């Protein structure tokens, strides 16, 4: 459990699938697909160790799997040399998931019986990890009563049986019995761990049970139908925070100005254009219930007083456009009766502590993260950031220096800071 908690709350909260898969390959023509399956599992970041039955070795050589997995292949139970490397018990303990693919009729029968006369059947009995079986066989053998009986037994024993695909088989028959494509199987494994991580995060994550709303990116203020005023914000910090908050167990809504970033997994995204729209949508989510509001957006301070309905034509040497002040989103929300924990951002070039603290008070924030935009190595378009975090006086927390790091790491540290302060936060 401790490991699992670290997996959820640890420094690397980016969906991290450093999980171990024991892929057991048994004797069937579909064994060739398992070679590709190893590749796909590795693409997702899994560490894969392959166990082969004798039958499997008649179809594909262990060397193929060794080259693809980057690990030695395990073939025998009673080989002292192999056992000295990683024995069957160690392998059974190492696994976070045991995937038997393809699973032949014979192996299914053996597992259902609980025999333990080779490496795979021994691991099957010795592991605590979930076991998945992907049967692949002739359609008549699949339909055979004995096979179905054995599969039922495995099901009852808690094994996840993956129903084979239907189609033309290597033997020329048409019917159920094809092993699903490697891409599909690997994705199922990935989604399983992704869901597991989410379930754990929702129970034990630093922001478990919290509803978080984040503004991100620039806003765009129209001048006429073809022109606008905006800024260079890329939204990266806000999107990284959305990822980190979700990984920490929160329900996350991201109100994004015009940016070209993909939506982080699991996050609800609401695209807006102008500051007025961003405020309007923020209020909608705040009123629906929100525990933490994080304002990373680089909101335009001013908008055009009157947006021209037609394209403004070129005329004199100068052009004057009247601008009026935009609402301050974060300050407006901080004034609400149902006020969430408020986190603001500030970009300063000097007197960081002084300016940040003034902003903290003026905008009634609980926490403010401040970056030094005079530094060329961090900030707007960069993938890195460095920040100083200040807390409202009531928290009695001293400022925290977050050293230059990738934005996701900074986001994770901000989540930690937030969750510490949140524990003391009383919603009015």
Percent helix, strand, coil in the chain, to 5, is 40, 25, 40
User: Of the two residues 100 and 278, which places its CB atom closer to ligand C5P in the complex?
Assistant: 278
Residues near ligand C5P (CB under 6 A), total: 14
Q: Is 322 annotated as a binding residue?
A: no
User: Of the two residues 108 and 299, which places its CB atom closer to ligand C5P in the complex?
Assistant: 299
User: Of the two residues 81 and 322, which places its CB atom closer to ligand C5P in the complex?
Assistant: 322
Q: Does 411 bind ligand C5P (CB under 6 A)?
A: no
- For the residues of 25-57, what is the DSSP string, one character each? E-SSTTHHHHHHHHHHHHHTT-EEEEEE-HHHH
Q: Does 237 bind ligand C5P (CB under 6 A)?
A: no
Q: Is 54 annotated as a binding residue?
A: no
Angle of helix 182-204 relative to helix 236-247, nearest 10 degrees, comes to 80
**Residue showing tokens 């990822």:** 243
Residue from 51, 133, 329, 408 in contact with ligand C5P (CB under 6 A)? 329
User: Of the two residues 98 and 369, which places its CB atom closer to ligand C5P in the complex?
Assistant: 369
Q: Does 342 bind ligand C5P (CB under 6 A)?
A: no
Of the candidates 216, 322, 230, the residue with the CA atom closest to the CA atom of residue 278 = 216
**Residue showing tokens 């070795």:** 57
Which range binds ligand C5P by CB under 6 A, 59-67, 202-210, 248-256, 323-331?
A: 323-331
Q: Is 366 annotated as a binding residue?
A: no
Q: Is 363 annotated as a binding residue?
A: yes
Burial of 310 (0-12, 13-18, 19+ CB in 10 A): exposed
Does residue 408 contact residue 264 with C-beta atoms inside 8 Å? no
Q: How far is CA 143 from the centre of its chain?
A: 39
User: Of the two residues 122 and 215, which places its CB atom closer to ligand C5P in the complex?
Assistant: 215
Q: Is 327 annotated as a binding residue?
A: yes
Q: Is 43 annotated as a binding residue?
A: no
- Taking the complex as a whole, the smallest distance from the CB of residue 405 to ligand C5P amounts, in Å, to 20
User: Of the two residues 25 and 417, which places its CB atom closer to ligand C5P in the complex?
Assistant: 417
Q: How far is CA 364 from the centre of its chain?
A: 32
Pick out residues in 270-309 that bind ligand C5P (CB under 6 A): 275, 295-297, 299
- For the residues of 119-139, what is the DSSP string, one character each? HHHHHHHH--S-EEEEE---H
Q: Is 345 annotated as a binding residue?
A: yes
Q: Does 207 bind ligand C5P (CB under 6 A)?
A: no
- Taking the complex as a whole, the smallest distance from the CB of residue 376 to ligand C5P amounts, in Å, to 20
User: Of the two residues 180 and 238, which places its CB atom closer to ligand C5P in the complex?
Assistant: 238
Which range binds ligand C5P by CB under 6 A, 71-79, 344-352, 377-385, 409-417?
A: 344-352
Q: Does 221 bind ligand C5P (CB under 6 A)?
A: no
Of the candidates 376, 391, 379, the residue with the CA atom closest to the CA atom of residue 347 = 379
Q: Does 330 bind ligand C5P (CB under 6 A)?
A: yes
- Taking the complex as a whole, the smallest distance from the CB of residue 43 to ligand C5P amounts, in Å, to 37
Q: Does 120 bind ligand C5P (CB under 6 A)?
A: no
Does residue 378 contact residue 405 with C-beta atoms inside 8 Å? no
| Phi and psi based region of residue 72 (left: phi greater than 0; alpha: psi -120 to 50; beta: remaining) | beta
Q: Does 418 bind ligand C5P (CB under 6 A)?
A: no
Q: Is 171 a catalytic residue?
A: yes
Of the candidates 123, 73, 78, the residue with the CA atom closest to the CA atom of residue 100 = 123
Token couple for 102: 């393809």
| Given the residues 171, 245, 290, 370, the one annotated as active site | 171
Burial of 14 (0-12, 13-18, 19+ CB in 10 A): middle
Angle of helix 182-204 relative to helix 31-43, nearest 10 degrees, comes to 40
How many residues are listed for the chain in this entry? Answer: 428
Residue from 346, 378, 392, 405 in contact with ligand C5P (CB under 6 A)? 346
Active site positions, annotated: 171
Q: Which residues are annotated as a binding site?
A: 301, 311, 327-330, 345, 359, 363
Q: Which residues are annotated as a binding site for CTP?
A: 301, 311, 327-330, 345, 359, 363
Sites of contact with ligand C5P (CB under 6 A): 215, 275, 295-297, 299, 326, 328-330, 344-346, 359
């Amino acid at each position: 459990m401790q490991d699992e908690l670290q997996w959820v709350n640890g420094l690397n909260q980016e969906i991290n699938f450093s999980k171990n898969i024991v892929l057991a390959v048994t004797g069937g023509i579909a064994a060739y697909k398992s070679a590709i399956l190893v590749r796909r599992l590795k693409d997702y970041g899994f560490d894969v160790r392959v166990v082969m039955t004798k039958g499997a070795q008649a179809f594909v050589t262990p060397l193929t799997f060794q080259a693809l997995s980057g690990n030695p292949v395990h073939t025998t139970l009673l080989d002292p040399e192999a056992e000295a490397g990683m024995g069957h018990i160690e392998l059974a303990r190492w696994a976070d998931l045991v995937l038997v693919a393809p699973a032949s009729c014979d192996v299914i029968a053996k597992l259902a019986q609980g025999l333990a006369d080779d490496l795979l059947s021994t691991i099957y009995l010795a592991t605590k990890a979930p076991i998945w079986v992907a049967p692949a066989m002739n359609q008549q053998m699949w339909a055979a009563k004995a096979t179905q009986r054995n599969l039922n037994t495995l099901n009852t024993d808690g094994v996840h049986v993956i129903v084979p695909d239907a189609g033309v088989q290597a033997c020329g028959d048409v019917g159920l019995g094809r092993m699903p494509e490697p891409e599909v199987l690997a994705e199922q494994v990935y989604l399983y761990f992704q869901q597991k991580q989410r379930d754990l995060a929702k129970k034990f994550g630093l922001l478990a049970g919290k509803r978080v709303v984040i503004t991100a990116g620039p806003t765009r203020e129209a001048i006429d139908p073809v022109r606008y005023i905006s800024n260079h914000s890329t939204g990266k910090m806000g999107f990284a925070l959305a990822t980190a908050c979700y990984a920490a167990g929160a329900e996350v809504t991201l109100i994004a100005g015009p940016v070209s970033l993909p939506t982080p997994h699991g996050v609800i995204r609401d695209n807006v254009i102008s500051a007025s729209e961003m405020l309007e949508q923020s209020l909608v989510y705040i009123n629906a219930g929100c525990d933490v509001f994080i304002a990373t957006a680089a909101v335009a301070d001013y908008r055009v007083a009157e947006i021209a309905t037609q394209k403004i034509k070129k005329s004199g040497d100068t052009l004057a456009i009247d601008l009026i002040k935009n609402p301050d989103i974060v300050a407006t929300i901080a004034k609400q009766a149902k006020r969430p924990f408020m986190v603001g951002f500030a970009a300063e070039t000097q007197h960081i502590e002084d300016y940040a603290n003034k902003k903290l008070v003026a905008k009634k924030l609980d926490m403010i993260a401040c970056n030094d935009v005079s530094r060329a190595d961090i900030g707007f378009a960069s993938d890195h950031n460095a920040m100083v975090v200040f807390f409202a006086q009531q928290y009695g927390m001293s400022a925290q220096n977050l050293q230059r790091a990738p934005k996701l790491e900074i986001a994770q540290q901000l989540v930690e800071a937030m969750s510490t302060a949140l524990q003391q936060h009383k919603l009015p």
